[in-house]
Amino acid sequence: MTVKEIVAYLKDLEEDLYCQEFTDETTLTLHLNKTTNIIKQIMELTEQESDPDRRSQLAVVEYKARECRKYIASQLPPLN
């Protein structure tokens, strides 16, 4: 995914999550896995980036992804 695609996905995900669009465990788990992969990808991009402004922008995107992942995890039943 490109950064632009990631930002669009996270924006849509945030809207859907906070509007209670996703309530079933399967969908939540899929989005949890996807946001985890996005976070890894953003971290790799940030590590490779030399422009401080671009690094700051990527940090904001990573923060948003982490907040989504945190919310999704809170909606799932605890692991045994």
Provide the pLDDT for residue 25: 87
Q: What does the pLDDT look like over 17-58, one tens digit per residue? A: 877 766 788 889 999 999 999 999 999 999 999 999 999 999
Would residue 80 count as lying in a domain?
A: no
CA dihedral 77, 7, 60, 53 (to 10 degrees): 160
Provide the pLDDT for residue 79: 72
How many structural domains does the chain have? 1
Would residue 61 count as lying in a domain?
A: yes
Would residue 59 count as lying in a domain?
A: yes
User: Whole domain around residue 30: which residue ranges?
Assistant: 3-75
Q: How many other CB atoms sit within 10 Å of the CB of residue 6? A: 22
Provide the pLDDT for residue 21: 67
Helix (H, G, I), strand (E, B) or coil at 76: coil
Provide the pLDDT for residue 80: 64
